[in-house]
Amino acid sequence: MSIYRRGDHFSYDFQIDGVRYSGRVPLPEGGIPRCAPPTEIQARRGICRQWEKRFRTELMDESDAKRSTDREIRQNKTLRALLDNYRYELTGGRPVPIADVAALAATKPWARDQSTPRCRLKASRWADFAAFMAARFPAARNAADIQKSHVEAYSVALSASGKYVAEKNNRRGARRYRAEPHRLSGATVRSILGDLRGLFAKVMEDAGAVTNPFDAIVVRPTETAERQVFTPEELARIGEGISTDEERQLSVCVLREDAERALWLRHADFCRPLFIVASLTGLSEGDICDLKWSDFDWGESVIRRRRNKTGSRILVPILPALASYLGTLPAGGEYVFPEHRSVYDCKGVSSRVKGFLNGLGIETQLRRPGFVAVSVKDLHSMRHVFCYYATRAGIPATLVAKIVGHKTVAMTEHYADHSTAADLRTAIAKMPLILPDGGVTDAPDEADAERRRLLDAVRLLPPDKVRSILSRLNA
């Protein structure tokens, strides 16, 4: 019997498919009162047997359902078919619509704080991919339905014709449409796919995805537009343009209409603190706009903060010129430049810098057939200029990296790598001749072996030794 008396209660014990089930009957009738007559005990036993029968039937039904599911799973011929049919049962995930991935990823913890512009950029990139999927692969509705072939098709489309969503908003809010498709460089496509890969990785477990379809997508390399530094002549024009003397400012302005010149003067006044601070610190546009008075350690005479973009520590010595300029600013409030901070998130800073530089006659964009125009000279170019002149001044790249907040010295060397032909000529002129007389002419007939040895020794002498010898000869 599967129901038996045990002390003051009834218990059950039976097996189904080799699995043993036992325990106390969870019914009031399973308890046996003290001094209960045999008839009552027998009646309670019958009630417990009815409960056991129902319980056994439920367990058998569950076992049959499990055997049926196991049989159906075994009938799947491939792992892909198994995942497609039983994804959420196997992974514990749930359906996450493709359009909701960015919003869900934003609720997840990130290794470092995400700035508002960065979050907005990632969300817009995912929205473009979601629109592409809805149009090209409408059967894929959830994040787990995205396959590597879908991502490859999107990558090809980006390289060939740019983003899928063509319309954009101008500053006045009116809709404008891209007239013709344009290609994106390999670096831009990799950047877009990298953001999409990061967003998908955050929701993989929730969406029941086993692999990230954005991993290892091959992007054909294309010639990228390198950031350009300002020439000495352009730096001189910028210096005149941010002057507080309006006559000096207008002397370098190439605009001729009064209305355009008036607007340019407002842009010049707005850009003055940006270029001053960038030239003295190497800070990026975002870090200048986000600069707070609390970031200044006046005791150590340094700026201490973390970069908005990477979270790297920045330690910038405060030069006397910077301290003098900061002394002219009102010290109230949290931000050093509150006006710039207020318009930074809506890209108002970049547009004003571009207008200021264009008014100086400085070409800020590179235009290539088939590609969208890209910015090659803007405020970020001053960061390159700072690294270039810092290394030219003999400051080790390791120290420059700490000042500008680069995580690797290689990045600093990349920023400083803007050598001109004149720089190369000056550097190579310091080299001694490897072969006697450069290997092109014979030694003079009157020169004997000892004279040649002396000439070779002189070529290797440092400049101060040469000057010392010449001074003695002229004495």
State pLDDT tens for residues 176-206: 545 456 778 788 888 899 999 999 999 988 8
Residue 303, SS3 per DSSP? strand
Higher pLDDT, 12 or 372: 12
Contact 316, 303 (CB under 8 A): yes
At 383-434, the pLDDT tens digits run 888 888 888 888 888 888 888 888 788 888 777 777 666 666 666 666 665 6
Q: Bigger pLDDT: 188 or 253?
A: 253
**What per-residue confidence (pLDDT) applies to 114?**
67
More confident residue, 449 or 54: 54
Please give the Cα distance from 418 to 117 (Å, whole number): 29
**Direct distance between the N- and C-terminal alpha carbons of the chain, in angstroms, rounded to an integer:** 127
Mean of the pLDDT values across residues 330-354?
Answer: 86
Residue of 150, 126, 141 lying closest to 201 (CA atoms): 126
Q: Which pair of structure tokens corresponds to residue 274? A: 């940006």
* Average pLDDT over the chain, rounded to an integer: 82
Q: In angstroms, rounded to a whole number, what is the distance separating the alpha carbons of residues 237 and 362?
A: 9
Strand duo 19-24 + 167-169: pairing:
unpaired
The pLDDT assigned to 151 comes to: 94
| E-strand stretches of 259-318 | 296-297, 302-306, 313-317
According to DSSP, the residues that pair with 375 across neighbouring strands are 365
pLDDT of 432 reads: 62
State mean pLDDT over 259-272.
94
Per-residue pLDDT of 276-330, as tens digits, reads 999 999 999 999 999 999 999 999 999 999 888 777 888 889 999 999 999 898 8
Radius of gyration of the chain (CA): 37
- Above 70 in pLDDT, residue 446? no
Domains and CATH numbers, the chain: 3-75 (no CATH), 91-207 (no CATH), 232-426 (1.10.443.10), 436-474 (no CATH)
Choose among 233, 322, 339, 309: nearest CA to 279: 322
The answer to whether the pTM exceeds 0.95 is no
* Residue 136 to residue 127: CA distance in whole angstroms: 14
Task: Inform me whether the pLDDT recorded for 212 exceeds 90.
Answer: yes
Interval 434-456 mean pLDDT: 57
Using pLDDT thresholds of 50, 70 and 90, give the confidence band for residue 456: low
Alpha-helical segments (H) within 284-440? 285-289, 320-326, 338-344, 348-359, 379-392, 397-404, 409-416, 421-428
For the segment 259-286, the average pLDDT, to the nearest whole number, is 93
pLDDT > 90 in the chain, percent: 31
Side-chain half-sphere CA neighbours of 87 within 13 A: 21
Inform me whether the pLDDT recorded for 27 exceeds 90: no
Both tokens assigned to 347: 């890209």
Q: Is the pLDDT of residue 443 over 50?
A: no
3-state secondary structure (DSSP) of residue 365: strand
- Ranking 39-48, 108-117, 346-355, 417-426 by mean pLDDT, the lowest is 417-426
Return the minimum-mean-pLDDT range out of 213-222, 346-355, 432-441.
432-441
- For the stretch 198-217, what's the b/e string if a residue is b when 16 or more beta carbons lie within 10 angstroms of its beta carbon? ebbebbbebbbbeebbbeeb
Specify the pLDDT at position 99: 94
What are the tens digits of pLDDT across the range 64-110? 777 766 665 565 555 555 556 656 666 678 889 999 999 999 998 87
**Range of 170-174, 229-233, 428-432, 437-441 with top mean pLDDT:** 229-233
Highest mean pLDDT among 16-25, 443-452, 460-469: 16-25
